[in-house]
Amino acid sequence: MTKQTDRRPHPAGLTAWDRCAVMGVVNVTPDSFSDGGRFFDTTAAIKHGLHLVAEGADLVDVGGESTRPGATRVDEDEELRRVVPVVRGLASEGVTVSVDTMRASVAARALAAGAALVNDVSGGLADPRMIPAVADTGAPFVVMHWRGLLEGGNVKGEYADVVTEVVDELRTRVDAVLEGGIAPDRVVVDPGLGFSKNADHDLALLAHLDRLLGLGHPLLVAASRKRFLGRVLAADPDAAPPPARERDAATAAVSALAAHAGAWAVRVHEVRATADAVRVARAVEGAR
């Protein structure tokens, strides 16, 4: 099913799926908190991306730099070395590839290697050359809500009204992106769950995805294995949360909720359950 029959916004220039799309994650890093660096090798990373597609991923997000709080930045050459061959390998197999990077040079090289979408967790803030580089190519661009990095981690998030502030700050970033020449129908927004946000902030944002959709752009939701799910699943507020790998069922539950709310895509590490979740959401929508 590739025909667009629902009315959720989706980015121009990409396949329009008739339901919430599933973005599988391939982190080509030795320090990713959630997959423990198991795919820190080009061949293994390509194989994993193809596995995610076989499990039902519509697109695969390839990243070479961990954004987890406390992670140190990798240098540009190393990021290029990790990301570009994996993007090329997956794109040559016909996979729709997204590149997860804060660097314009990596985005440009990944697009040249066959990537179809740029996913920048800084929304163009980390590298002033990012927006012009993407605008030149016409690729869709994910603008995530981001308040910056501090000593390798996320700037502390303090909010009086997290939903209003995230929506307003995202609107400002979207305006900057449009001014920089990226076409409005190529801009995707993302609340940036866990980035300068605690569990209550993340849950409030998930409860108000309609407000994010009100920005008028396709919405990406990336809840997979994040800390807030650990908090939700912990037996009580003082108990240890289950490890990241034990949060996939909870992730799939968020996928169903996000799909039902009208998200364009969900970004997940474990694809199988989410592929089912978005199909159930689609079937329920079809029965309205």
DSSP 126: S
Place of tokens 């194989």: 47
Point out the catalytic residue in the list 173, 197, 267, 282.
267
226 as an active site residue: the answer is yes
DSSP string, 203-235: HHHHHTHHHHHTTSS-BEE--TT-HHHHHHHSS
Point out the catalytic residue in the list 147, 226, 247, 282.
226
Handedness of CA 80, 15, 166, 277 (dihedral sign): negative
Quick one: which of 26, 102, 121, 271 contacts ligand PMM (CB under 6 A)?
121
- Per rule CB under 6 A, is residue 219 in the interface with ligand PMM? no
Whole-number minimum distance, CB 209 to ligand PMM, in Å?
Answer: 14
- Per rule CB under 6 A, is residue 68 in the interface with ligand PMM? yes
267 as an active site residue: the answer is yes
Q: Which stretch binds ligand PMM (CB under 6 A): 61-69, 74-82, 106-114, 167-175?
A: 61-69
- Per rule CB under 6 A, is residue 212 in the interface with ligand PMM? no
Contact in structure between 110 and 79 (CB atoms under 8 Å): no
Place of tokens 């596995």: 51
- Per rule CB under 6 A, is residue 222 in the interface with ligand PMM? yes
Stretch 20-59 residues interacting with ligand PMM (CB under 6 A): 25, 27, 32, 34
Quick one: which of 84, 108, 170, 193 contacts ligand PMM (CB under 6 A)?
193
Integer Cα distance of 192 and 249 in angstroms: 20
Whole-number minimum distance, CB 63 to ligand PMM, in Å?
Answer: 6
Integer Cα distance of 23 and 224 in angstroms: 11
Residues that are catalytic: 226, 267
